[in-house]
Chains A and B, each alone.
Chain A
Amino acid sequence: GAVVSQHPSWVICKSGTSVKIECRSLDFQATTMFWYRQFPKQSLMLMATSNEGSKATYEQGVEKDKFLINHASLTLSTLTVTSAHPEDSSFYICSARRSGLGLSSWGETQYFGPGTRLLVL
């Protein structure tokens, strides 16, 4: 299967600090990765689309200077929450699209990581 990992699985930080979350595709290459955020009892909201070697595309309302995304290799994308505040506390989930998989009907084009729970005090 296709495995996506995230690190750390949970993090607690003080307000004003920056937090980096890693998303790795362990057994496949991913030209595109996606970052989602999920608040308690709510659905997943797409934050940005990360493409290897180029700038991320952010969804409307997501501050690109606050949520820095780097996709430097085909197996790693990072999300840095800069100057985190309590309202940034959330469950952050990444997904990865496998490279080379044609635009077929396969629904498994995105494989999700286990998520990172961020608590900002």
Chain B
Amino acid sequence: DAKTTQPPSMDCAEGRAANLPCNHSTISGNEYVYWYRQIHSQGPQYIIHGLKNNETNEMVSLIITEDRKSSTLILPHATLRDTAVYYCIVRAPLLGNEKLTFGTGTRLTIIP
């Protein structure tokens, strides 16, 4: 699986948009970008994933650059409950590899 690079920490004011970057410059054509988050002392929670098109769900948007070497997770209106560690993971599920390799992630702190 391709390695990802994320800033170790970020702060965001409550109600503002939180933009979490992830670099995955060695991503290959069959690898997807997944985002999980882990709230303190809980198990990780799946957020969103994408291949090359931008994706949106009720919580977030995922913007993937055209060359797919980086992506940004956007929380449009951050709340205090969004304080968590956010993990960007790149993997190729179609190869039957179900392993998730967690990096160090970004610790997002929402400031009241």
- Classify the secondary structure of A's interface with B: strand
Tell me the nearest residue of chain B to A32, going by C-beta.
B98
B101 / chain A contacts, CB cutoff of 8 Å = 46
B32 / chain A contacts, CB cutoff of 8 Å = 105, 107
Number of B interface residues in the complex (CB < 8 A): 24
Q: Does A80 contact B (CB under 8 A)?
A: no
A88 to B48, CA, bound (A): 32
- Classify the secondary structure of B's interface with A: loop
With contacts A103-B96, A107-B49, A109-B93 taken as known, whether A44 is within 8 angstroms of B102 at the C-beta atoms is yes
Q: Does B104 contact A (CB under 8 A)?
A: yes
Q: Which residue, B32, B41, B44, B96, has most C-beta atoms of chain A within 10 A?
A: B44
Q: Does B2 contact A (CB under 8 A)?
A: no
B49 / chain A contacts, CB cutoff of 8 Å = 105-107
A4 / chain B contacts, CB cutoff of 8 Å = 43
Q: Are A113 and B98 in contact (CB under 8 A)?
A: no
A106 to B94, CA, bound (A): 10
Q: Are B43 and A115 in contact (CB under 8 A)?
A: yes
Residues of A102-118 at the interface with B, using a CB-CB cut-off of 8 Å, are 103-115, 117
Chain A 44-79, CB-CB to B under 8 Å as 1, else 0, gives 111001000000000000000000000000000000
Q: Are A112 and B104 in contact (CB under 8 A)?
A: no
* Interface residues on chain A, size class: 20 to 34
Q: Are B94 and A107 in contact (CB under 8 A)?
A: no
B80 / chain A contacts, CB cutoff of 8 Å = none
Q: Does A91 contact B (CB under 8 A)?
A: yes
Q: Which residue, B46, B94, B96, B104, has most C-beta atoms of chain A within 10 A?
A: B46
Residues in chain A within 8 A of chain B (CB atoms): 4, 6, 32, 34, 36, 43-46, 49, 91, 93, 95, 97, 103-115, 117
